[in-house]
Structure 1
Amino acid sequence: MYLTKQINSVKICYDECGMADRPALVLLTGWAHDLRLYDELLPYLSRKYWVIRVCWRGHGQKRDDIDDFGVEEQISDTISLLESLEVDKFYLVSHSHGGWPALGIADKLGRVRVPCLLMIDQIMTQPPPEFAVGLQAMQEKKTWKAARQGLYDNWMAGSDNKAVETHFIYSFGGFGHKFIAAAYEKYGTPMRRMEMIENPPLIRHIFSHPLNQPEYRKLHEDLSRKHSWFSFADLEGETHFPSLEIPEKVAQQIDQLVQEADRDIQ
């Protein structure tokens, strides 16, 4: 059931499942997605965790026009929502560009409250030129529909996965994306943002895209050798949406990271 709370003078949509006496697991979506991005994961998670799925402002069931917003509003909205739910310590999961506010939340609240962060398929380098061009085209009335389709085709990479296709049809919309560009302009890359956190939680990036790029994998290997708090896994999937495409693999990675974080605290 979709729920809403008035947070920071706007309505924030969320839902929760599992038992409130279990460890809290907070799921943040990427840009232009609602909480249905994690539908396929719930059967794997709901027996172990108190799962809270959060929509960004303007991304809930009622998609009224709202004022432009950025990462700082996403951070504030999420923290305020969790405080209203009396959530103190929680494990954090983000998809794609939801990683920017996730890193900000981890930085602001500290490792005691956010012991680990699992990031799913976010671009860890500067955005590739074709991606940047596509985002720019989505700001123009004449080109936004074609640009959106182009991004989706790239993310699907020829896959015919029905769960991902259904998500595109019913969820993926024409939301603004200025905060994406602003985050890269401010921090450079997500990896650089991680290194700016004074005492980072355990952070793991799991991904499939970009496909077949050894230099991208090497970038992760280099960071994991440099910092014990960082790890990664190439899921070897087909699409940009592993939580829908291969949810069992994503759930396994969540469980592993949570267990490592609990051991680290002890």
Structure 2
Amino acid sequence: MNAHAQQKSTMINLNGIDVYYEFHQPDPLKPVIVLIHGFLSSSFSFRRLIPYLEKEFSVLTVDLPPFGKSGKNLSFRYSYQNLADLVISLLETLKVDKAFLVGHSMGGQITLNIAKRRPDIASKIVLLCSSGYIDRFHYSLIYSSYFPYFHLWLKAWLAKTGVLGSLKNVVYNHALIDEDMVQGYSTPFVDNQIFKALTKMIRDREGDLSSTMLQQIMTPSLLIWGEEDRVVPINVGRRMHQDLKDATFVSFKDTGHLLPEECPDSIYQQITNFIFPSKGRM
């Protein structure tokens, strides 16, 4: 059977915005694992990890608004707290009472917000190069975001580096970057509406959870880092490891920020060892 034969892809309206999600191999006998992507990304970033996880889990991926195929409404509040509530609403709609959560980069902050707000839902969490300890955007940038056509400036600013340049910054081994990868990360940015939504996100984003807030999270956590991460340096992960009460820390040499693309097999092994320790996977 094709690995993706049992896959439910759909758009659903939650909390006033369209949300695209995929449910790979939904099976009531398998635990649910939720994959939450990072900034300027989408569920596409987990494409190489999903086939591994399908062996053990029903895999749920979601495009966080305004990214990927999800809505880009300017009436939606693009705060971490609201995005966390959106994922919680999706789980409740799908009648998933408990799940394992995996968050990459910005998705790590969404995962931590879920664990803080609804610890009953998060059985265990995995943070892949999670963002951490970043304050709100500077007031001058927030103020500037109200200028007419700011979204066009934002588009031009992002275009300076381009998708290929961005991928070279987040992937340590540039040989992994191919045409499919560039195309996959480029597609969501064809629609100019995303730049208007990102402009609103600059105003809405409330900043990362503080050390005090992290110390209140009791959910067992696995932190995985690339030692060559240029986006979220490994010292951020080590600090988060100290703040979280029940945390394990693992790092990979010669690996950058985009862990699900760079070493999906190793990530899979670490996740399954963490979630199913009694099985003694090596």
Please report the TM-score for the alignment, with normalisation by the length of structure 1. Answer: 0.77
Aligned position for 2:221: 203
Q: Is the 8 A contact 2:63 2:69 kept in 1?
A: no
Shift of 1:239: 3.1
For the residue of structure 2 that corresponds to 1:254, the secondary structure is helix
Once the two structures are superposed, residues 52-74 of structure 1 have per-residue CA deviations (whole angstroms, 9 ceiling, x without a partner) of 11111233436655445121221
In structure 1, distance between residues paired with 2:64 and 2:106 = 12
Task: State the Cα deviation string for residues 203-253 of structure 1 (Å, max 9, x = none).
Answer: 1211115459xxx65665566467651111112243321212211011111
Let me know the Cα RMSD of the aligned residues. 3.3
Q: Does 1:154 align with 2:130?
A: no
The CA distance in 1 between the partners of 2:234 and 2:70, in whole Å, is: 39
Shift in alpha-carbon separation, 1:89–1:180, aligned structure 2, 3 A: farther
Q: Note the C-alpha offset of 1:169.
A: 2.3
Preserved CA contact (<8 Å) 1:31 1:177:
no
Letter in 2 for 1:83: E
1:116 pairs with one of 124, 128, 138: 124
Q: Could you say which residue in structure 1 is the equivalent of 2:259?
A: 242
Structure 1: distance between partners of 2:67 and 2:240: 33
Identity across aligned pairs (percent)? 18
| Alpha-carbon spacing, 1:47–1:29, altered in 2? closer, same or farther (3 Å) | same
Q: 1:20 aligns with which of 28, 36, 39?
A: 28
SS of corresponding position for 1:249: helix
Return closer, same or farther for 1:201/1:166 CA change in 2, 3 Å cut-off.
same
Paired residue type of 2:257: H
Aligned equivalent of 1:37: 45
Say which structure, 1 or 2, has more relative contact order (CA 8 Å, 6+ apart). Answer: 1
Q: CA deviation at 1:125?
A: 5.2
Distance 1:41 1:58, change over 3 A: same
CA distance in 2, matches of 1:100, 1:227: 13
SS in 2 for 1:140: helix
Secondary structure of the corresponding residue to residue 87 of structure 1: coil
Q: Which runs of 5+ in 2 are unaligned?
A: 1-7, 136-140
Change in CA separation of 1:6 and 1:120 when aligned onto 2, cut-off 3 Å: same
Q: Which position in structure 2 is the counterpart of 1:106?
A: 115
Pairwise CA distance, 1:153: 2.8
Letter in 2 for 1:72: Q
Q: Structure 1 residue 9: deviation in Å?
A: 1.8
Aligned mates of 1:20, 1:147 — CA distance in 2: 44
Moved more, 179-188 or 231-240: 179-188
For these two proteins, the number of residue pairs brought into alignment is: 246
Q: 1:85 aligns with which of 90, 94, 109?
A: 94
Distance change (3 Å), C-alpha of 1:179 and 1:186? farther
- Whole-Å separation in 2 of the counterparts to 1:180 and 1:253: 34
Q: 1:142 to 1:222 in 2, by over 3 A?
A: closer
Structure 1 residue 46, shift from structure 2 partner: 0.9
Aligned in 2, Cα 1:152/1:209: closer, same or farther, shift over 3 Å? farther
Gaps of 5+ in 1: 128-132
TM-score under structure 2 length normalisation: 0.73
Cα distance change, pair 192–245 in 1 and its aligned pair in 2 (3 A): farther
- CA deviations 1:70-91 (Å, max 9, x no partner) are 2122111111111010000110
Sort the Cα spacing of 1:64 and 1:223 in 2 relative to 1 into closer, same or farther, 3 A.
closer
* 1:1-266 alignment runs, 5 A limit: 1-18=8-25, 19-61=27-69, 66-67=74-75, 69-110=78-119, 112-124=120-132, 126=134, 140-149=154-163, 150-157=165-172, 159-162=174-177, 166-172=180-186, 173-174=188-189, 175=194, 176=198, 179=201, 185=207, 187-188=209-210, 193-195=213-215, 197=216, 199-211=217-229, 217=234, 220=237, 224=241, 229-260=246-277
